[in-house]
Amino acid sequence: DSRKYTGIVEDCCCDYETVDSLNGAVLHPLLQEVVKTPFFRYFKVKLWCDCPFWPDDGMCKLRDCSVCECPENEFPESFKKAMHYGLPSDDLKCQEGKPEAAVDRTLDSKVFRGWIEVDNPWTHDDETDNSEMTYVNLQLNPERYTGYTGPSARRIWDAIYSENCPKCQFLFIKSCTLFPLLIVLFVDFMVASTLPIFPFLDTSGEICQEKRVLYKLISGLHSSISIHIASDYLLDETKNLWGRNLELMYDRVLRYPDRVRNLYFTFLFVLRAVTKATNYLEQAEYDTGNMEEDLKAQSLVRQLLYNPKLQAACPLPFDEAKLWQGQSGPELKQEIQKHFRNISALMDCVGCEKCRLWGKLQVLGLGTALKILFSVDGKIHSNQPLQLQRNEVIALVNLLNRLSESVKLVNEIGPSIDKSMGEF
């Protein structure tokens, strides 16, 4: 067997072989269909480049990165209707006064109570501010090579990792010239004044498990983005020839085993969030006004959630109960939540519209996974029922699909590239 990755995916509950066979046979084909349905292909997003961390670096309007926004009449009517803010008032009454209320358990089993608009504590965007949002057809704007590179892109990744890794933040500051340094210090003071410079070191100098999880999620997402850039690359600009750039895929991801492992980890983490929200996603209304397509979306989601192969082979892709066990659990969670919100805010600094679109979608998807797995408020054991926005579910499922595509590509192409790596 020429497999390079064997055994259990670190910090998860399933092994690499199982993930590959499940993904290839079940998850990937289903997800590819789900994301084509009208419900899952329209994503609401604020595409303005409104970076809260540093002044406009002139990269925000790169032409080649432009996104094709939907005209008003294209996106579903039902998406435009006002949504609930919090729980619908009928539910708040909780059947009080009804004679059968004492024994009626129907409310408990009805998990989905209509799409809501409540801000996600893990993310930065104000999702309720519809005036600034536009709808994008994700099928028309695939994540692929855009030419966005150089110091602007580098600065975002550096800043993202500095939210996780104390050493990186130190290096980031060291590598700045005086003017940006002052800005960084000012921003650190104004925006993140509560963040210590070395936020993730505990007293013993160890990086705790929860912080490692956040790092691995970001690194796994980064791997996935790089895999997509390499798998849909502009090979020849004059001929407008697109295809796979295997050398790039190797250089950016495959030659680093930890980046591949983090990709698998992130995939299982998000898969766990989706399966944990089974009751909610099963009952959710995938309503776009196109009954046939909406029933298809619902049926595909159910096939995913109740897949016997998934339940048999990998019933618990990630065990979230193992986290936040220590005494400082609640504070730690709030600290990590704040860091993730900063990462989410950094997406407004991405100087390429299409990269910003997919960056925002995938960070919202991760934020939604974190919200599902670790409750909606700052408490460890929250009794609050799960409430999701339509856009969060769209982001979550599209993120899972992106990760599933990357895992499939790594599994299929990885071994042959490894063999021929001498040629590169």
Binding stretches for ligand FAD (CB under 6 A): 143, 145-146, 148-149, 153-154, 156-157, 219, 222-223, 225-226, 229, 252, 259, 350, 354-355, 358-359
Tell the smallest beta-carbon distance from residue 332 to ligand FAD (Å).
22
Structure token pair of residue 210: 């929860």
Tell the smallest beta-carbon distance from residue 68 to ligand FAD (Å).
15
- With 0-12 / 13-18 / 19 or more C-beta atoms within 10 angstroms meaning exposed / middle / buried, residue 402 is buried
Using the minimum distance from each CB to ligand FAD, give the nearer residue, 226 or 298: 226
Using the minimum distance from each CB to ligand FAD, give the nearer residue, 31 or 160: 160
Using the minimum distance from each CB to ligand FAD, give the nearer residue, 87 or 207: 207
Antiparallel, parallel or unpaired: β 134-137 and 241-243:
unpaired
- What are the CA-CA distances from residue 424 to residues 249, 252, 421 (Å)? 11, 13, 5
Q: What angle do CA 46, 126, 180 make, to 5 degrees?
A: 75
Structure token pair of residue 248: 């790039």
Say how far apart CA 226 and CA 236 lie, in whole Å.
Answer: 19
Using the minimum distance from each CB to ligand FAD, give the nearer residue, 159 or 336: 159
- With 0-12 / 13-18 / 19 or more C-beta atoms within 10 angstroms meaning exposed / middle / buried, residue 218 is buried
Tell the smallest beta-carbon distance from residue 154 to ligand FAD (Å).
5
- Please check whether residue 117 is in contact with residue 85, taking contact to mean a CB–CB distance below 8 angstroms: yes
Tell the smallest beta-carbon distance from residue 272 to ligand FAD (Å).
20
Read off the amino acid at residue 137. Answer: N
Tell the smallest beta-carbon distance from residue 225 to ligand FAD (Å).
5
Q: What is the distance, to the nearest Å, from the Cα of residue 387 to the centroid of all Cα atoms in its chain?
A: 17
Using the minimum distance from each CB to ligand FAD, give the nearer residue, 123 or 387: 123
Structure token pair of residue 149: 């590179």
Using the minimum distance from each CB to ligand FAD, give the nearer residue, 79 or 358: 358
**Which residue blocks in 97-249 are alpha helix, DSSP H?**
106-109, 151-162, 166-174, 178-190, 209-231, 246-249
> What is the enclosing helix (H) or strand (E) of 134?
strand 134-137
Say how far apart CA 156 and CA 64 lie, in whole Å.
Answer: 19
Q: What angle do CA 57, 395, 43 make, to 5 degrees?
A: 75
Read off the amino acid at residue 297. Answer: A
Using the minimum distance from each CB to ligand FAD, give the nearer residue, 276 or 356: 356
Structure token pair of residue 256: 């680093």
Using the minimum distance from each CB to ligand FAD, give the nearer residue, 350 or 388: 350
Start-to-end CA distance of the chain, whole Å, equals 24
Tell the smallest beta-carbon distance from residue 235 to ligand FAD (Å).
13
Tell the smallest beta-carbon distance from residue 156 to ligand FAD (Å).
4
Tell the smallest beta-carbon distance from residue 404 to ligand FAD (Å).
17
Tell the smallest beta-carbon distance from residue 203 to ligand FAD (Å).
26
